[in-house]
Structure 1
């Protein structure tokens, strides 16, 4: 049996948690759509819920910095549905 460095193991655990979280969000999204809730309403409430939690955990200043980073990522097209990764 081989041992992974703890940093690498922590990264793998975080990646797995993110994948599971994405699956939970996808399920909730699909449930909302099937209940007749529009995508833009689901998106806005998801963002609002996330921001409330992030401010609670990290404070307003750090969340503003996160939002500035996200703004740049949006401007660079990272979240476009037709984006191709090279």
Structure 2
């Protein structure tokens, strides 16, 4: 079975996403074990993410990410039974 370049790119992107999720899960667990409240960890993670987006891709990309995340929240994508880790 041959894969197109776009298929390969999609597989690489998904592998990177899964690696990032794993890294974030480990950092989250470390924060919790250090006694940091989940809300504080979440806010710090979002601030870091948006600072990086702004620095690397500019305001338009950061705002687009914010819009996509907002739509996911509204659509229920982050409800516990729907998470894909």
Normalising by structure 2, what TM-score?
A: 0.84
Matched residue count: 83
Residue number in structure 2 paired with 1:44: 43
Q: Which runs of 5+ in 1 are unaligned?
A: none
Q: CA RMSD in A?
A: 1.8
Structure number with greater CO (CA < 8 Å, separation at least 6) is 2
Distance 2:68 2:76 in 1: 13
Question: Larger helix proportion, structure 1 or 2?
Answer: 2
Dislocated runs of 4+, deviation >4 Å: none
Structure 2, unaligned stretches of length 5 or more?
none
Give the TM-score normalised by structure 1.
Answer: 0.84
Deviation of residue 23 (structure 1)?
Answer: 0.7
